[in-house]
Structure 1
Amino acid sequence: MSPGAKERVRVRDARPEDDAAIGELLIEAYTTQYAKKMPEVVYTEERKRDLRAVARKREVASVWVAELDGQVVGTVSLFPPGAPGSEAWMQDAADLRHLATAPSVHGQGLGAPLLDAAEEQARAWGVKAVCLHVRAGVMGVARMYMARGYVRAPEGDLRYPTVSLEAYVLPLSG
């Protein structure tokens, strides 16, 4: 990827024809990055099916893609308050989910325009905050969010048999 990719990226609403590419991008990004940093993380076939269920997600959430040179290279989703699948623990808060960029463009700042789109949507909805979860132990991802103003919110942590998720929140002024 050449320098200037961030300037050439186009963020747009996901369309049905993007669903397969988004699902595969999520799986590739997560398994590639976690394999490097946390080799113990395993994605089950059930989890992969959930990540590929983009059409279902688009029914209840806003989903965006980052497109570079005609290729989908990133994605993010934002669930409105009370939407099925939302893990927001605060009332009147949106839930940010499934931010990922293709491994070929990791580290080039392409997550920022996706986050800009999601945070802009949250402000347009008039919600009080954006909630999100980061897998425990993935400090680089947590630092990226904190640099944008998200703060640690332990009251929203989630503990599942196979994963622990740490909560973060971006307070919005309305």
Structure 2
Amino acid sequence: MDTGIKIRKGGPEDVPAMLAIFDSAVAWLNERGITAQWGTESFSSRPKTVEAIERLVSEGAPWIAEVDGFPAGTLTLTPHPGQYVAPAGEPELYVRYLATHGRFHGHGVGSALLAHAVDETRRAGVSLLRVDCFAGSEGRLVAYYERQGFTRTEEFTVNDWPGQVLEQRV
């Protein structure tokens, strides 16, 4: 079945499109009363967040999912987690900043990007793919990752933000 989702390698030139995806995702979450996950301000209006995305893109492998040429989702793979999660102690790829544009929520964009991340992990000869996510809102995002084949490992907290690390062996 062709979903119409095409995934391509991203780069520094895609930062504006990535920020637009994140901004749309924040608005989508906020419209549903979910403000604790990514806050209420757009990513593009937060200079430190913009810098973090630019740095991540330069250090990792960004991927852009497109539907009819429109940037519908993104994730970046890095060989390590963010600073708030301990490295695995073995080679790993880590999913960072997975987001779907609000217009495409529920259309399989996130699933396609995660399947691509599994493929990229295999291609790299690495057997561990990890991700972390917001564990609040009744654990809906944790359950989403579990439906994508991930298994819960450790929990963590950054300030009052509850997080969950999940992994998948590939």
Q: 2:110 aligns to what?
A: 111
Q: Which amino acid aligns with 1:13?
A: K
Quick check: 1:32 aligned with 2:10? Answer: no
Rounded Cα–Cα distance in structure 1 between residues aligned with 2:9 and 2:130: 21
* 1:116 match: secondary structure: helix
Structure 1: 5+ residue stretches without partners: none
Q: Is contact 1:89-1:131 (8 Å) kept? A: no
Alignment of 1:11-50 (within 5 A): 11-40=7-36, 42-43=39-40, 48-50=46-48
Offset at residue 48 of structure 1 (A) = 3.6
Alignment of 1:1-174 (within 5 A): 7-40=3-36, 42-43=39-40, 48-53=46-51, 54-81=53-80, 87=85, 89-91=87-89, 92-138=91-137, 139-154=139-154, 157-172=155-170
Q: Which amino acid aligns with 1:73?
A: A
Using the size of structure 1 for normalisation, the TM-score is 0.80
**Closer, same or farther in 2 for the Cα pair 1:102/1:59, shift >3 Å?**
same
Q: Which amino acid aligns with 1:146?
A: E
Q: Which amino acid aligns with 2:29?
A: Q
1:121-168 Cα offsets, whole Å, 9 max, x none, are 1112222311111111243322221122211112xx221114121111
Q: Is contact 1:27-1:51 (8 Å) kept? A: no
Rounded Cα–Cα distance in structure 2 between residues aligned with 1:45 and 1:109: 23
* 1:58 match: secondary structure: helix
**Closer, same or farther in 2 for the Cα pair 1:50/1:85, shift >3 Å?**
farther
Structure 2: 5+ residue stretches without partners: none
1:98-121 Cα offsets, whole Å, 9 max, x none, are 111111110111112211221111
**Closer, same or farther in 2 for the Cα pair 1:131/1:88, shift >3 Å?**
farther
Between 1:15-24 and 1:100-109, the stretch displaced more is: 15-24
Using the size of structure 2 for normalisation, the TM-score is 0.81
